[in-house]
Amino acid sequence: MKLRSTTILLIMLVIVILTSCSTTKYTMTTTNTIDYQAHRGGRGLMPENTIPAMLSVMDNNKVTTLEMDLAITKDKQVVVSHDPVLNPIITTKPDGTFIKANEVNDNIIYQMNYDQLQKFDVGLKLHPGFTQQKKLAVVIPTLSNLVDSVELKGSMMGRKMMYNIEIKSLEGKDIVEHPAPDEFVELVVNLIQQKNISNRTTIQSFDIRPLKVLHQKYPTIQTAYLVFGKECGDAQKQIQLLGFTPTIYSPEYKYVTKETVDYCHAHQMKIIPWTVNTKKEIDALIALGVDGLILPDLPMVEYEASYREIFEKYGLYNIMLITPQTNDERIRHIDSVSKGFIYMVSSASTTGAKTGISSDQEVYFSRIASMNLKNPRLIGFGISDHESFLKASKNASGAIIGSAFVKMISQAKDLPAEIINFVQSIKGKK
């Protein structure tokens, strides 16, 4: 496939979210109000869970809530981080090298004092999944400094932001990756009370233990119970396990029934299902009476309503991604509104995390090829040599090679010659 050299390829990154931190979210309430939450501070545009990210996204007047995740340092500082360890995808060591995947257990935040944590950068190594993200030197912030910065800017803008924060804890990891639930909750609540934002804060978790502590000690603070698996459709059973009624019940969408919705509403809970991908699914859940929805991908209506006209006016191509988990309905809709090509993510992993093409991936490639889409498809993630290139190209128009090429460049001594050799080796001409 040949594309115009002047074509600008953009991957749309959204900040419309609600309640969980692993996905992009979009809220539709029964009163037709929409809560726009900046996921990790809108990580598609700025380094995630950082002060610059939070401040930048406040310039978008639609954004009402800042979503973030919390960890605790060895010296009991509440810090804003999605993971209890330094993420190798985005972290640069003090010596300028990158953390390797096999080194994460040596970089547990709870085992570091904050002055040590500050020596690591989380903005200079761009997240491979967010190509529009701004590159800048930035560290993991304390929640205290982040809130101070947000509140100061908010006062200058005449705005008061809402906060949606997740306590990232897991039974069996107490004292290793985080403090015990009681201490974790106390550290967080004491801080949000000091900052006078407790009435604008929702605390969520998959772990029922901190939610129970919150209910017992701080019943006025809003809580969201994140649940997954087949049994989450039985809200009554899950709430019995929790032991109290949270503000929000957030189950995996495919297990939600009318009975689930009715139970939640009868017990004064909002129900916000997560991981919804298609209009059909959205319509079905809205018909059931849910209070909101959590979508992991760009809501197509958002692109079509707000961006498509601009893209077409300036000759820009919005390059959308599909994965092995994307269903046929969404794939065909993406195909119908796309130009340029469709980016086929080969697997549910991060770029550079694995190499080679498995038999399961080949089945996925073949399935998409049989759909006879109008747009060419390029396969990325795991393409690193001639063999994987051939397997990808067999059922697509080509392949995208990122990590292997970057690695070659970083080690090259004669860059022009080694680029030629690399391309020839991929094509099998060497």
Tokens of 179: 């403090």
Region 177-199: mean pLDDT is 97
Looking at 302-306, 400-404, 426-430, which range is the least confident one?
Answer: 302-306
CATH topology of domain 17-226: TIM Barrel (3.20.20)
Cα 410–chain centre separation: 28
Question: For residue 264, is pLDDT > 80?
Answer: yes
Q: Return the higher-pLDDT residue of 301 and 112.
A: 112
DSSP-assigned letters across all residues of 399-429: EE--HHHHHHHHH-SSHHHHHHHHHHHHHT-
Residue 414 — very low, low, confident or very high, per pLDDT cuts 50/70/90? Answer: confident
Query: Which residues are within 8 A (CB) of 305 and not within 5 positions of it... i.e. 6 or more apart?
Result: none
Same fold, 17-226 and 315-427: yes
Q: Given this model, what pLDDT does residue 139 score?
A: 94
DSSP-assigned letters across all residues of 191-236: HHHHTT-GGGEEEEES-HHHHHHHHHH-TTSEEEEE--SGGGG-HH
Each residue's pLDDT tens digit, 273-289:
876 666 778 788 888 98
Domain positions in the chain: 17-226, 315-427
Question: For residue 422, is pLDDT > 50?
Answer: yes
Tokens of 339: 């130009």
Three-class SS state of 356: coil
Q: Given this model, what pLDDT does residue 336 score?
A: 87
Each residue's pLDDT tens digit, 49-97:
999 999 988 888 878 888 899 999 999 999 999 999 999 889 999 999 9
Q: Return the higher-pLDDT residue of 209 and 43.
A: 209
Counting residues of the chain whose pLDDT is more than 70, the rounded percentage is: 81
Report the alpha-carbon distance of residue 19 to residue 265 in Å, rounded: 18
Q: How many other C-beta atoms can be found within 10 angstroms of the C-beta atom of residue 315?
A: 11
Residue 295 — very low, low, confident or very high, per pLDDT cuts 50/70/90? Answer: low
Report the alpha-carbon distance of residue 18 to residue 223 in Å, rounded: 13
Residue 138 — very low, low, confident or very high, per pLDDT cuts 50/70/90? Answer: very high
Question: For residue 352, is pLDDT > 90?
Answer: no
Q: Given this model, what pLDDT does residue 353 score?
A: 41
If you average pLDDT over every residue of the chain, what do you get? 81
Q: Return the higher-pLDDT residue of 369 and 263.
A: 263
Q: Return the higher-pLDDT residue of 187 and 279.
A: 187
Tokens of 227: 């649940």
Query: Phi/psi at 239 (nearest 5 deg)?
Result: -70, -35
CA angle 141, 144, 147 (to 5 degrees): 90
Contact between 382 and 404 under an 8 Å Cβ cutoff? The reply is no
Region 141-160: mean pLDDT is 93
Contact between 413 and 379 under an 8 Å Cβ cutoff? The reply is no
Question: For residue 350, is pLDDT > 50?
Answer: no
Region 1-21: mean pLDDT is 30
Residue 301 — very low, low, confident or very high, per pLDDT cuts 50/70/90? Answer: low
CATH topology of domain 315-427: TIM Barrel (3.20.20)
Residue 319's Cβ-count burial label (10 Å; 0-12, 13-18, 19+) is buried
Q: Which one-letter amino acid corresponds to residue 318?
A: N
pTM > 0.85:
no
Q: Given this model, what pLDDT does residue 272 score?
A: 80
Looking at 110-114, 133-137, 139-143, which range is the least confident one?
Answer: 133-137
Q: Given this model, what pLDDT does residue 255 score?
A: 92
Q: Given this model, what pLDDT does residue 18 score?
A: 28
